[in-house]
Amino acid sequence: MSWWFVLALAAGCYAFKVAGLIVIGDRTMPPAVTRCLALIPAAMISALVAMNTFSSGQELVLDPRAAGVSAAVIAAWCKAPLILVIVLGAAVTAIVRALT
């Protein structure tokens, strides 16, 4: 992949955002659409985490990454600080990899 391709994709993404602002303008979106749009970032991040945790190439795998993500999810659920969630997830992954 060349840098020109990356820059062209970035310019295209920016153009789509600007086009959306121009087309919609000052009009307000219906409340149902606004609520749905607010949920998209969380859904995308969840999908990316799940894909990177449970896949290796074209295969589904269950490896130490799953244990690390599980520990991080539990820590986040217990409302631990973000840095602790990250360090705990990395530490559990490293420990499980060392033991297996």
Please write down the HEC assignment for all residues of the chain: CCHHHHHHHHHHHHHHHHHHHHHHCCCCCCHHHHHHHHHHHHHHHHHHHHHHHHEECCEECCCHHHHHHHHHHHHHHCCCCHHHHHHHHHHHHHHHHHHC
Q: Is the pLDDT of residue 25 over 80?
A: no
Q: Where are the domains of the chain?
A: 29-99
Instruction: Please state the pTM of the whole predicted model.
Output: 0.63
Q: What mean pLDDT is predicted for residues 20-39?
A: 83
Query: What pLDDT sits at residue 1?
Result: 67
Q: What mean pLDDT is predicted for residues 36-56?
A: 90
